[in-house]
Amino acid sequence: MKKEPTDNNTEIITRKIQLLVDEPDKELERQAWQTLYRWQQVCFRAANTIMSHIFVQEQLPNMSYLADEVQRNLADMHKHPGSLLCTSRINSTLRLLSQQYKGQIPIHILGRLNMTLHRDFVKKRHQYLEGEKTVPSFHRRIPIPVCAADIRGLALIQDSHNYSLRIHQLPFRSFLGADWSDKPALLQQVVDGQIKLCDSHLLIRNKRLFLLAVFRRPLHPPPPGNDAVAEVSLSPETPITVRIAGRRYTIGSKEEFLYRRLAIQQARQRVQQAIGACRGGHGATRKRKALDAFEEKEKNFIHNRLHTYSRRLVDLCLQHRAATILLVGQQEKEAAAKEDAFLLRNWSYYALKEKIWYKARRVGIKVLTE
């Protein structure tokens, strides 16, 4: 999951937790699922409406083909006389949605969706206006935003390691199964008030419901006496080479990482060459079934290996009491990789660097790039 920096003392992490509708009555359970699907459909339509209105509002002052009499000053007329809008720009889209979908979805969901899309548009505003990026469109499986204040009643179920909760008055319980990750511990820390559960999302996939729970938790300070520097070199042939305390360590190898990745790609190419002879059945979905499986296999292989390598590096730094990780010559290597199609395709340097960064940050180790 993606981690984002917040400040020097806390971090934001996301965990995917499966939820079940906690309702013994089958009819009430069916109604709860209908409500969730209705919320998802409204979010899909509302998100596309919001982005369309934001873009039009942003472009209106630049529409030189409109008559000069047309008012183009988009601001709140109560605060700026002579302006076009009767409210603020961010509230204009929310007011439109609340009128259009009144009674179909909680207003807090629309408010959070509206706020998020406005904030994302501002971040990429220049690229949209310059034509470098297209305004995004949203698919029907869009996650449903949930405010932290609307997640209530989180409590441990008796004689179980699962938790019960309510989201907009709908009852749910977690389904952690044989989960040995940190999800149960994080939920218990929320119950005990040690960490905070932030605004999250509900995700519906393949008739299953997941909570993309966002947690804010404090970072652990580094143990005293850490003063060593670990010089780290990243490359596709040897994923990580470390020099620390006068010793040299290698993490991963060319045979383990690069060759296996290339083998998966070659297998995918063979499937792609033979895809024309595959039985149709259900059209493109049936023909691409094996091809999609190899794409997912490569993605999972890289994800697993990079997590393993970054974890080994951080453990090695803790073992030698290193306070800093220095990525040696990384900027030059990344610049060279952008000019080499093979390296750009097969060396996941950015993903590896990101995983090193957040794992090191959790234990108080600084990461510097040379």
- Quick: pLDDT tens for 322-368: 888 998 887 787 777 778 777 777 778 888 888 998 888 888 888 88
For helices 260-273 and 289-319, the axis angle rounded to 10 degrees is: 170
**Among 5-9, 88-92, 300-304, the least confident range:** 5-9
**The pLDDT value given to residue 310:** 92
Domain annotation covers residue 106: yes
Let me know whether 149 and 14 are in one domain.
yes
Let me know whether 355 and 258 are in one domain.
yes
**The pLDDT value given to residue 195:** 92
- More confidently predicted of 36 and 177: 36
**The pLDDT value given to residue 269:** 85
Let me know whether 163 and 213 are in one domain.
yes
Residue 290 — φ and ψ, nearest 5°? Answer: -70, -35
CATH number where 300 lies: 3.30.420
Q: Are 117 and 138 in contact (CB under 8 A)?
A: no
Provide the percentage of residues in the chain whose pLDDT is more than 70: 87
Domain annotation covers residue 94: yes
Residue 224 — φ and ψ, nearest 5°? Answer: -65, 150
**The pLDDT value given to residue 279:** 65
**Is the model's pLDDT at 2 over the cut of 90?**
no
**Is the model's pLDDT at 234 over the cut of 80?**
yes
**Residues counted in the chain:** 370
**The pLDDT value given to residue 156:** 94
User: If we measure between CA atoms, which residue out of 199, 194, 197, 201 comes closest to residue 215?
Assistant: 197
Q: Are 148 and 63 in contact (CB under 8 A)?
A: no
Six-digit token string for 368: 């510097």
Average confidence score pLDDT of the chain: 84
DSSP 135: P
Question: Last residue of some domain: 106, 129, 152?
Answer: 129
E strands present in the chain:
4-5, 10-21, 144-146, 151-156, 163-167, 170-174, 196-197, 200-205, 208-218, 228-234, 240-244, 247-251, 322-327, 366-369
Question: Last residue of some domain: 218, 240, 260?
Answer: 218
pLDDT tens for 40-93 read 999 999 999 999 988 888 877 766 665 555 555 555 455 655 556 666 778 888
User: If we measure between CA atoms, which residue out of 246, 349, 362, 232 comes closest to residue 302?
Assistant: 349
Give pTM, 2 decimals: 0.72
Question: Last residue of some domain: 88, 103, 129?
Answer: 129
Number of Cβ within 10 Å of residue 87's Cβ equals: 15
Let me know whether 17 and 154 are in one domain.
yes
Work out the pLDDT band at 242, boundaries 50, 70, 90.
Answer: very high
Top mean-pLDDT range of 62-76, 193-207, 225-239, 352-366 = 193-207
Domain annotation covers residue 135: no
**The pLDDT value given to residue 69:** 53
Domain annotation covers residue 223: no
**Is the model's pLDDT at 216 over the cut of 50?**
yes
Q: Are 23 and 171 in contact (CB under 8 A)?
A: yes
Let me know whether 364 and 281 are in one domain.
yes
Let me know whether 152 and 261 are in one domain.
no
**The pLDDT value given to residue 226:** 63
Mean pLDDT over 175-196 rounds to 88
Give residue for tokens 């003392």: 9
Mean pLDDT over 130-159 rounds to 92
Q: How many domains does the chain have?
A: 3
Let me know whether 248 and 344 are in one domain.
yes
Domain annotation covers residue 232: yes
User: What CA–CA distance (Å, rounded) separates 213 from 196?
Assistant: 11
Let me know whether 350 and 257 are in one domain.
yes
Q: In DSSP terms, which residues pair with 13 in a beta bridge?
A: 215
**The pLDDT value given to residue 119:** 92
Let me know whether 186 and 265 are in one domain.
no
Instruction: Provide the residue type at 237 as one letter.
Output: E
Let me know whether 246 and 353 are in one domain.
yes
Domain annotation covers residue 138: no
Mean pLDDT over 302-315 rounds to 91
pLDDT tens for 247-264 read 899 998 888 888 888 898
Instruction: Give residue 90's domain range.
Output: 32-62+71-129
**Among 5-19, 149-163, 181-195, 238-252, the least confident range:** 5-19
Q: Are 327 and 353 in contact (CB under 8 A)?
A: yes
Residue 363: strand, helix, or coil: coil
**The pLDDT value given to residue 73:** 55
